[in-house]
Amino acid sequence: MESFENEKTELGKAHLKYGKMSIHEANLRLKMAEESEFPLTIFPKFIQDTIIELHDHGNYNIDYTSVSIFTALAGIIGNSYHLRKHIEWVENPSMWVVLVGKSGQNKSAPLKTAFKAIKNLQKQYDQEYESAIANYDPDSGEKKPSKRKLYSTDPTFEALINIHKQNPNGMILMPDEFKSFILNLIGYSGTSKQSQFLSIWDGAPISLDRKEVESSSLSMPCVSIIGSIQDDVIASFKAKDIKDGFFERILFAIPLKMEKKLIGRKNPDDYMVEKFHSRMKALMDKVNESINTIELPLSEKAEDLFINEVNKHVKPSNKDAAISGILSKLDRYILRFALVLEVSNSFFEGQAIKQISESSMKKSIMLKDYFFSNALKLDHMVLNVYEDNSKEGKVFQVLKKIGKREFTNKEFIEMANKLNIAKESYAYQLLSNTKLAHKKQKGVYETDVLN
């Protein structure tokens, strides 16, 4: 048998790089170094093992699976547990997450697996509702049965509030087309819709009083959002950001390698995956036992860690407004991450859930670092791909070749295609989101950059 210290063995390589550790941790470290920056060690071992099994034998991306599972945990916990920093600062566990990648990069499978327990319970609720409606007598004087929904794909804002009222523990939005969801928010009437969702993210009470709809209110909204989108599409949206803090509230999962992979013959271990689903369901059952919100305080050591970490953000925030916007939201996400980790890990490990521990806060800060890195990656994508104010960008190259101040969208698309910069739909997307030209009238644009 080869020595663990031999640099030719997997464990030997890990020893040389990370110091002595178990075989499990060594293999995990080596794999993560090549495939992902996500801090897998925040999860209990059975979740780590499931993620690696799905990666090795199911063609699942580690980042997509990890972030999807974490968001599913947050959605399950919902309003059952909150974190109270002080009398005026309370955080719920809601997450806004986007999986970013190339077309065909298998972003949907990790979502399906992570949320299977939630969707199975939704099927049960649907069956119970259908049975209740079938037996309902409108003349009986009894209240009409209501439909409980754990998640929705494309509700109006008013519908979201009313659905949430039927499920006070919280809602999960899983748009089938995240591109359409974003377009609906940042379209011509998008500003008001974005502001409504900003209030939802803050956990602030919502009250709708409009003539065309019945008045509705929600005292404790807790809505997690998760979807997937192509890298160039999200970069184009970010380039058109109106700087209201909406994008800073989104957590991006951006893998080290955005590429399709070969499919192997071996399938993921059925027992391991089913065990994962079973334990996620057990957490849901536990959460559903309580009708009241339990508020968890920070332990003394956890609070010290939090304060020290947030104070580290002050200097870079004062130097750069963009960095400040990202870190200000991540300061709050640190508490949300810690809440999700404390509740879920304590449950899975059979421990009492009393306060936010030092361990949960350490793991939360690791997760914050991951999402901060990805936020910077997205900004880099915007600069590299669009370069809105640069004379090296794709849009400027097309405008320069067109050579006139006023032009049609047809001229732009044809020139972009001729220069091999972009095909029709992508070219129109570039034109719609650029800051180098503006629409003068339908189909006609104007630019000042050629003067």
pLDDT in tens, 92-134: 999 999 999 988 888 999 999 999 999 999 999 999 999 999 9
Q: What is the mean pLDDT of residues 425-445?
A: 81
Distance CA 173, CA 364 (A): 23
Q: Where are the domains of the chain?
A: 1-35, 39-259+269-384, 394-446
CATH class of the structural domain 39-259+269-384: alpha beta
Is residue 200 predicted with pLDDT exceeding 50? yes
pLDDT band with cut points at 50, 70 and 90 for residue 432: confident
Structure-token pair, residue 322? 């963009």
Distance CA 157, CA 323 (A): 30
* CA diameter of the chain: 80
Please tell me whether residue 394 adopts helix, strand or coil conformation. Answer: helix
Distance CA 84, CA 87 (A): 7
Helix (H) or strand (E) holding 213: strand 213-218
- Cβ atoms 378, 386 nearer than 8 A: no
pLDDT in tens, 277-286: 999 999 999 9
Burial of 407: CB neighbours in 10 Å, binned 0-12, 13-18, 19+: buried
Q: Please tell me which of 177-186, 192-201, 285-294, 379-388 the model is most confident about, judged by mean pLDDT.
A: 285-294
Whether pTM > 0.85 for this model: the answer is no
Is residue 179 predicted with pLDDT exceeding 90? no
Burial 160-181 (b: 16+ CB within 10 A, else e): bbbbbeebbbbbbbbbeebbeb
Distance CA 118, CA 116 (A): 5
Is residue 306 predicted with pLDDT exceeding 50? yes
Q: What is the mean pLDDT of residues 32-43?
A: 85
pLDDT of residue 404: 92
Backbone angles phi, psi at 150, to 5 degrees: -90, -25
